[in-house]
Amino acid sequence: MSHPGLYSLTDLDDEAIGHIVRRTIDLYTDRDAHSRPLAGRLTGLLFTKTSTRTRTAFTTGAIRLGAATVTFGPADLQTNTGESAADTGRMLAGMLDQLVVRTAGPMRELRDLSGDGALPVVNAMSAEEHPTQGLADLAMLMHHFGPLDGVHVLYVGEGNNTAVALAHALGRQPGCHTVFACPRRYGLPAPVLAAASAAAARGGGSVTQVHDLAEVEGAVDVVYTSRWQTTGSTKPDASWRDAFRPFHVDTALMDRWPGAVFLHDLPAHRGEEVSGEVLDGKSSLAWTQARMKAAGAMAVLEWTAA
């Protein structure tokens, strides 16, 4: 009996998150640490928006685990001619064993594509959340630090779908403290911040938000940023870059915490959210973080098929 899919990290209990993260680290250490559990299965890959790391990670991950893959581009399905996502999902559920979806649309579209839950669907990014990124990031941090009790994370930039997943993931880690430094009007959605803050408080940690980097006080072990223009999204304010410029991560910011490591979910725009000196510098783990996504995809596919 397979799991119903992965739509949001809020759907997973601590045991499931811990299992996927441990398997991600195992598979990062040894990508052959499995017995081809998807042999004889079919994994669909529906990417309606551009993707380099996530699409490659899930495609190669499915193949390494033994599955055959069926790929769909943004114009391939009859949803483009008016068929509902629910009807499409009912049909796909009779032909596929898993479906990985990236969309700029709402998460409910992914639930519709599940064929009333008959087909496990993996959210490889939707408008609200990027849960597989959050799981891979959590694995990256735990691979580097071990347990995150006492670790301080600073996220700098927009409260986008990556930030939402990070808030949900880190808010569940006992003793972990996370600050989101976001431009005004571009912060975490209020319900996400409230839920993550409450979860963190139960575990002796914290999730907070500020709108000025000068307000960040105390230790920082990790500085994390993301591109300012989220894939598939636009901003209504034509002068939005003015609000984002104070949140540029450069060597001056990193020098405030000389021992901190740098993370980025990529792709990066050097000179916008981060300087090249930081992205390619000695504190950067961004490229290791990107490779962790391949192991993370394998762990998620394995989990949804179990």
In this predicted structure, what is the pLDDT of residue 146?
97
pLDDT digits (tens, 9 = 90+) for 247-284: 999 999 999 999 999 999 999 999 999 999 999 999 99
**Residue spans of alpha helices (H) in the chain:** 14-29, 53-64, 85-93, 107-112, 131-145, 161-171, 190-202, 240-244, 251-254, 276-279, 286-305
pLDDT digits (tens, 9 = 90+) for 25-61: 999 999 999 999 999 999 999 999 999 999 999 999 9
How much is the mean pLDDT over the chain? 95
pLDDT band at 105; cut points 50, 70, 90: confident
- Topology annotation, domain 5-127+294-305: Rossmann fold (3.40.50)
Class assignment of domain 131-290? Answer: alpha beta
Asked whether the bond before 183 is cis by omega within 30 degrees of 0, the reply is no
In this predicted structure, what is the pLDDT of residue 231?
62
Tell me the C-alpha distance between 278 and 270, whole Å: 9
Handedness of CA 91, 95, 100, 103 (dihedral sign): negative
Tell me the C-alpha distance between 218 and 185, whole Å: 25
pLDDT digits (tens, 9 = 90+) for 59-94: 999 999 999 999 999 999 999 899 999 999 999 999
**Whole-number percent of the chain with pLDDT over 70:** 98
Task: Reply yes or no on whether the pLDDT at 3 is more than 60.
Answer: yes
pLDDT band at 232; cut points 50, 70, 90: low
- In this structure, what DSSP letter does residue 219 have? -
CB 48 within 8 A of CB 102: yes
Domain ranges of the chain: 5-127+294-305, 131-290
Q: What is the mean pLDDT of residues 158-164?
A: 97
Greater model confidence, 235 or 304: 304
Name, in order, each residue with C-beta under 8 angstroms of 173's C-beta and a sequence gap of 6 or more.
138, 147, 148, 149, 203, 205
